[in-house]
Amino acid sequence: FQGGELIMNEGYLPKDDVGFYLAGDERVNEHIGLTAMHTLWVREHNRLAQAIACEYPNWKDNRLYNEAKRVVVAELQAITYNEFLPALLGRNTLPGYWEYTNDQNPGYDDGIQANISNVFAVSAFRFGHSMLSPVLLRLDKDGDEIPQKHVPLRSAFFQPDKLEEAGIEPIFRGFASQAAQALDPMVVDDIRNFLILSPGDQQGFDLAALNIQRGRDHRLPAYNDVRESFGLRRIDSFHDPIWREGFGDKLAEAYDDPDQIDVWVGGLAEEEVGNTLTGETLQAILLEQFRRLRHGDRFWYEDQFYDEEIEELNQTTLADIIKRNTPIQKHEIQNNVFIASEIHDPVEVNATPGVTSETTRLSAPDPAEEIRRNRIMEAIRNGALG
Please state the separation of Cα 202 from the chain's center in Å. 27
Q: pLDDT tens, 143-173?
A: 999 999 999 998 898 889 999 999 999 999 9
The mean pLDDT of 247-272, rounded to a whole number, is 97
Q: pLDDT tens, 86-109?
A: 999 987 766 556 555 445 566 788
Flag whether 242 is in a domain: yes
Flag whether 378 is in a domain: no
The proportion of the chain whose per-residue pLDDT surpasses 70, expressed as a percent, equals 83
Flag whether 215 is in a domain: yes
Structure confidence at residue 347 (pLDDT):
44
Q: pLDDT tens, 169-223?
A: 999 999 999 999 999 999 999 888 888 766 566 677 889 999 999 999 999 999 9
DSSP codes of every residue in 276-315 = SSS-HHHHHHHHHHHHHHHHT-TT-GGGTS-HHHHHHHHH
Among the residue ranges 91-100, 248-257, 288-297, 343-352, the one predicted with the least confidence is 343-352
Q: pLDDT tens, 292-334?
A: 999 999 999 999 999 999 999 999 999 999 999 999 999 999 9
Quick one: pLDDT band at residue 346, thresholds 50, 70, 90?
Answer: very low
Structure confidence at residue 45 (pLDDT):
97
The pLDDT of residue 377 is above 70: no
Q: What pTM was estimated for this model as a whole?
A: 0.86
Flag whether 230 is in a domain: yes
Structure confidence at residue 352 (pLDDT):
31
- The residues, ordered by sequence, that sit 6+ positions from 217 with a Cβ below 8 Å of its Cβ are none
**Residue 230's domain spans which residues?**
109-132+180-297
Quick one: pLDDT band at residue 1, thresholds 50, 70, 90?
Answer: confident
Quick one: pLDDT band at residue 12, thresholds 50, 70, 90?
Answer: very high
Please state the separation of Cα 147 from the chain's center in Å. 27
- Measured CA to CA, the distance from residue 162 to residue 158 in angstroms comes to 9
Quick one: pLDDT band at residue 348, thresholds 50, 70, 90?
Answer: very low
Quick one: pLDDT band at residue 78, thresholds 50, 70, 90?
Answer: very high
Structure confidence at residue 97 (pLDDT):
60
Angle between helices 169-177 and 32-55 (to 10 degrees): 110
User: Residues in the chain, how many?
Assistant: 386
The pLDDT of residue 358 is above 50: no
The pLDDT of residue 47 is above 70: yes
Flag whether 352 is in a domain: no
The mean pLDDT of 277-304, rounded to a whole number, is 94
CB 319 within 8 A of CB 329: no
Across the chain, the runs of DSSP E, i.e. the strands, are 135-136, 151-152
Structure confidence at residue 274 (pLDDT):
87
Flag whether 206 is in a domain: yes
Q: Work out how many domains the chain is built from and give that number.
A: 1
What is the overall mean pLDDT for the chain? 86
DSSP codes of every residue in 354-372 = TTT-HHHHHSPPPHHHHHH
Structure confidence at residue 264 (pLDDT):
98
Structure confidence at residue 317 (pLDDT):
97
DSSP codes of every residue in 135-163 = EE--B-TTSPBPTT--EEGGGSTT-THHH
Flag whether 90 is in a domain: no
Flag whether 166 is in a domain: no
- If DSSP codes are grouped into helix, strand and coil, which group holds residue 38? helix
The pLDDT of residue 49 is above 90: yes
